[in-house]
Structure 1
Amino acid sequence: MTLAGSKTHIHGVLKSSSEDFIVEEIPLYEPCGEGEHLYLHVQKTNMSHEHLIRHIATYFGIKKRHIGSAGRKDLKAITSQWVSVHLPGQTVSVPDSIGGIKICTHSWHKNKLRAGHLMGNKFTLRLREVLKENFNCLEQRLQALQRNGLPNAFGPQRFGNKNDNQFVGQYIITKEWDKVIAVLLAGTDRHHELADTGKFQNALDAWPFGQPAQRNILEALARGKSAEQACKTIPHTLSKLCVNAFQALIFNEVLKRRVAANSFNTIVEGDLVWKLDGGGRTFEIALEEVGSPEIVERSMQFLISPSGPLWGSKMRHPSADIERMEQEVLDGFGVTEEHLIGMKKFAEGARRPLCVPLKNTAISLEKDCVSVQFDLPAGSYATVVVEALLTGDL
């Protein structure tokens, strides 16, 4: 499935500077003005989520677990969002900035801000090096995305800097420990070559200190531990991240098939329907309802969407040809039902909408760039929008 001007692959550069990628969180609710949780509306530039939380925790003298947020924002960007700070019974002075973080405003609320407590994000992006004659094509593609919906793929950042987290996750699930190690220690530098030839102590001595998981594996191997024992040193958070990346890989593969069949935004027989306006609930519809005017209208209004798999032992399954197709994709990676049961400590499984709305779109040709604006629901990726605009492919 392609967008307008599909034969034209447009050259454009994103994120040449932080000003080219601006993210504004759309909150689920506003602080009420009273309670034990100080809500800070913050703006950061080129700062990781970890640094944001650390700076705030240090300033208020509390543990990081007492700080809440609705979600992580991009690193190389200017981003604004709410964070909550649990300060029961305290009266505090709030500065204009903390460690390079701008405090835009603040208030109080009765509960901690938690992951998912947001409606979505507003993006303002600047694409550099775009030829003026390609502007109309970009505009048509953006209009098509707003009209038809965005295929809700996971973006490349989900898969890590080396685009290999998903394979680590796959081999953790299938318990192929030698392959887990091979992926984590792969590379072309001298320390990678030392590891590849079994010189684990030499590789450990040369390995960068900024990669503790790899160093822990090498230390275990140098001490004569088995591949499985070495993999047990991988932090749970990293293992979970990689398993989640594998879930994302399978979801994207299923989505590709639905896009190719022109059904990523159409409810078909067997679908589990995602309620876009109802807190992420899924439901089944009767066969006679498929293709009915009501279902078609609700799909066109982006009130509902077909859903795709985030595999796990507790995931709800579709039926008919959709179930067979999703199972076929999973089978292609050698993952069985037994494996899914074993991975529940990392991920229990869920569904995710295949199609999401792209709202409040705007595009303009500026002196040295094309400016693009749009809103996305929580969990959807602006980089997927950019790829669709530049390539014309969904």
Structure 2
Amino acid sequence: MTSETLEFSRHFVWLNGEPDISAVFRHENADFQVVEQLGFEPEGEGEHVFLYIRKDGENTDWVARQLAGFCQVSPREVGYAGKKDRHAVTEQWFSVRLGVHRNLNWQLFGGDSIQVLKAVRHPRKLRLGVLRGNRFRLRLRDVSDMDALEARFALLAKGVPNYFGEQRFGFDFGNLDKGLALIRGELKERQRHKKGLYLSAVRSWLFNRLLSERIEQGLWNRILPGDVLMLDGSNSCFSADAELDELQTRLAAGDLDLTGPLPGAPGKLLSAEAEAWERATLSPWQAVLDDLEKLGLRSERRALRLRPQGLAMERESDRQCLIEFELPAGAFATSVLRELCHLSVSRSAGGLSTDD
């Protein structure tokens, strides 16, 4: 069976069953607020200026271009850790290389939709992905059943499936389709960034598929011999090949997380029953797995469980509430929201990721 005839379903199961609740999200920019958490403090000296900027209704790339123009530098001299959505009120860091002797009046930059809140020097450029995560503050309107929503919200502390959000796959899953076309040799893409984006969509779908199957088969929170486990809060992994009862206790306590593959050339950690289960689960897509390996991609592991931190919920009325939570880099707010309710989104939700 070729990748042309394979099924690539857009449905992935819910951990606590499909919610029977509806709500409307993002009626206005202030309904979607994001505060970036860099994870380190700029050092106070150096040739780069780190700018902490609040923007309302502007996207990250546009602000970066405006910043380059204001500073009269190449756009390549401007950096940021993650893209944030246009239809939101967001706070995030940018960096611009000015040299150690040049200073500017940052209050002259921006306008009604952009404010520079802080400016601090640092010796290095801010790179994409160099952030701890984000804090989200989201307003849900027209909630059909607030009591049921509160009950499901209380379950979030135990964790949700760490699915890649729909924005990873592009509009109407277009990135996934292009990734499969690349693998089949039907599409040539010279731009390295776009090629990586399309192939990432394929790997992300395979991860989601395996995670969904693990939940359906009751293996969401059960360690199989040979599973690859990840230490909480790190990317450090090891194989579960002994003392499974002790490891199971640590998994329940949140010290460890089960992982799933971002497929490529096989790693060495997965073994025994877990390896056999993953191979059998993804066997319908073996041709795709083989092609990813031929392209030189190496397999990586991603935690199956996402545990939001700093959870808070405030009822504003019987039909409206504010919810807050923090997510690490690489996680998607849509993975949290889908466990709560079915959302009607007033505007494109392309930025509901911590590292878009």
TM-score (norm 1): 0.76
Which digits, 9 at most, give the CA deviation of each residue in 1:300-348, with x for residues without a partner? 343321111111226555222332333344432353564123323xx54
* CA 335–29 in structure 1, closer or farther in 2 if over 3 Å, else same: same
More contact order relative to length (CA 8 Å, sep ≥ 6): 2
2:189–2:195 CA contact under 8 A, matched in 1:
no
Shift of the alpha carbon at 1:174?
3.1
Give the secondary-structure state (helix, strand or coil) at the position aligned to 2:20.
coil
Q: Residues 26 and 262 from structure 1, CA distance in 2 versus in 1: closer, same or farther, beyond 3 angstroms?
A: farther
Asked if residue 321 in structure 1 is aligned to residue 273 in structure 2, the reply is yes
The one-letter code of the counterpart of 1:256 is S
SS of aligned partner of 1:71? coil
Q: Which residue, 240, 243, 256 being the options, matches 1:285?
A: 240
Equivalent position of 2:229 in the other structure: 273
Equivalent residue in structure 2 for 1:87, among 70, 86, 98 = 98
Q: d(CA) in 1 for partners of 2:57 and 2:215? A: 34
Structure 1 residue 259 corresponds to structure 2 residue 215: yes
Corresponding residue number in structure 2 for 1:333: 285
Who wins on radius of gyration, i.e. which is larger? Answer: 1
Instruction: Give the Cα separation in 2 of the matches to 1:371 and 1:124.
Output: 7
1:109 is matched with which residue?
Answer: 122
Structure 2 CA distance, aligned partners of 1:87 and 1:299? 47
Name the CA distance, whole Å, in 2 between partners of 1:139 and 1:341. 44
2:161 to 141, 144, 151: 151
Between structures 1 and 2, the one with greater strand share: 2
Unaligned runs of at least 5 residues, structure 1:
178-230
Between 1:45-54 and 1:249-258, the stretch displaced more is: 45-54
Determine which structure has the larger helix proportion and give its number.
1
From 49, 52, 61, the equivalent of 1:41 is 52
Report deviation, 1:129. 0.7
In structure 2, C-alpha distance between the alignment counterparts of 1:37 and 1:163, rounded to whole Å: 38
| 1:296–1:331 Cα change, 3 Å | closer
Q: Is the 8 A contact 2:15 2:161 kept in 1?
A: no
Structure 1 residue identity aligned to 2:323 = V
Count residues in correspondence.
328
Q: Which amino acid aligns with 1:163?
A: F
One-letter amino acid of the counterpart of residue 327, structure 1? R
Inter-CA distance 57–349: structure 2 relative to 1 (3 Å threshold): farther
* Root-mean-square deviation (Å): 2.4
Q: Give the alignment partner of residue 110 of structure 2, picking from 73, 98, 101.
A: 98
CA contact (8 A) 1:362 1:374 kept: yes
How many angstroms apart in 1 are the aligned matches of 2:85 and 2:221? 27
Q: What is the one-letter code of the residue matched to 2:311?
A: T
Deviates more, 1:7-16 or 1:375-384: 7-16
Offset of residue 375 of structure 1: 0.9
2:139 is aligned with 1:130: no
- TM-score in terms of structure 2 length: 0.84
With over 3 angstroms needed to count, the CA separation of the structure-2 counterparts of 1:337 and 1:128, relative to structure 1, is closer
Cα separation, 2, equivalents of 1:281 and 1:59: 42
Deviation at 1:244, TM superposition (A): 0.5
Return the offset for 1:236: 2.9
1:92-146 alpha-carbon deviations (Å, 9 max, x no partner): 1242343642211111112222233222111111111113xx2222122121110
Q: Of residues 54, 61, 64 in structure 1, which corresponds to 2:72?
A: 61
Q: Percent identity?
A: 31
Alignment of 1:1-394 (within 5 A): 6=17, 9-96=20-107, 97-98=109-110, 100-131=113-144, 134-146=145-157, 148-175=158-185, 177=186, 231-232=187-188, 235-278=191-234, 280-287=235-242, 289-292=243-246, 295-313=247-265, 315=267, 318-335=270-287, 338-344=290-296, 347-367=297-317, 369-390=320-341
Deviation for aligned residue 1:259: 1.6
Query: CA distance change for structure 1 residues 305 and 94 in 2, over 3 Å: closer, same or farther?
Result: farther
Distance 1:317 1:168 in 2: 31
Is the contact made by 2:238 and 2:269 (CA closer than 8 Å) also made in structure 1? no
Range 42-51 or range 330-339, more displaced: 330-339
CA distance in 1, matches of 2:99, 2:146: 53
